[in-house]
A = this chain, B = another copy of it.
Amino acid sequence: MRVMGIDPGLTRCGVGVVEGRPGAPGRMIAVDVVRTDPEAPLADRLLALDEGLRRHIESHRPETVAVERVFSQHNVASVIGTAQASGVALLAAARAGLPTATYTPSEAKAAICGNGTADKRQVTAMVTRILRLSEAPRPADAADALAIAICHLWRGGMKARLAAADGSRTPPPRKGGPR
């Protein structure tokens, strides 16, 4: 299954595409950040984001799109832009006829690091290990998008099978994660 993870944002929107199948570790297909100009009118930014996401969907042909759910405990002003970006992301997937899923940041962190309060460095380190990348994904802030994609693959039942089949190479999630 090929999953596109999206970490929504108006200025920087993370996109990570991961392919996985039961019993095998995931493989990174693409990672990118769609940027829009903070000085541009809001509608132009939403249009640029929509076009960027649609290009990635067309290029990488995911079967499912997983989007980070907007976290309501954030600062209200920043929540509005993030919510608008998440609406555009979910709409882009729906218009392409793709199923969607949403996960909270805590769900993604718990799936990847075994700890819903893991920090950014822990998430990046685990994404790098899980996808067997030679170095941390770049741009760095797209690691969250890969984490959302991995979270969806694993929540789809792959996690248990992967751990059983390949426990030596893919460390099981545990409290705290690597330093």
CB-nearest residue of chain B relative to A78?
A: B72
CB-nearest residue of chain B relative to A48?
A: B94
The interface-forming segment of A81-89, A103-111, A148-156 is A81-89
Bound Cα distance from A173 to B90, whole angstroms: 41
Is A7 an interface residue, CB under 8 A from the partner?
A: no
Q: How many copies does the complex hold?
A: 2
A90 pairs with B42, CB closer than 8 A: yes
Residues of B within 8 A of A46 (CB): 87, 90-91, 94
For chain A, the count of residues having a C-beta within 8 Å of the partner chain is 28
Bound Cα distance from A46 to B87, whole angstroms: 7
Interface string of A79-121 (1 = CB under 8 A from B): 1110111111011011100001010000000000000000000
A100 pairs with B50, CB closer than 8 A: no
Is A139 an interface residue, CB under 8 A from the partner?
A: no
Interface string of A41-62 (1 = CB under 8 A from B): 1111011001000000000000
Interface set of A (CB-CB < 8 Å, partner B): 41-44, 46-47, 50, 70, 72-73, 76-77, 79-81, 83-88, 90-91, 93-95, 100, 102
Since A43-B94, A84-B86, A84-B90 are in contact, a sample of 6 more A-B pairs with Cβ atoms closer than 8 Å, ordered by chain A residue number, is A43-B91, A50-B91, A50-B95, A73-B76, A76-B79, A87-B87
Q: Which 4 A-B pairs have the closest CB atoms?
A: A84-B87, A83-B83, A47-B94, A87-B87
What are 28 A-B residue pairs whose CB atoms fall within 8 Å in the complex? A42-B90, A42-B100, A43-B90, A43-B93, A46-B87, A46-B90, A46-B94, A47-B94, A47-B95, A50-B91, A72-B77, A72-B80, A76-B76, A76-B79, A79-B79, A79-B80, A80-B83, A81-B83, A83-B83, A83-B84, A84-B84, A84-B86, A84-B87, A84-B90, A85-B87, A87-B87, A88-B88, A91-B91
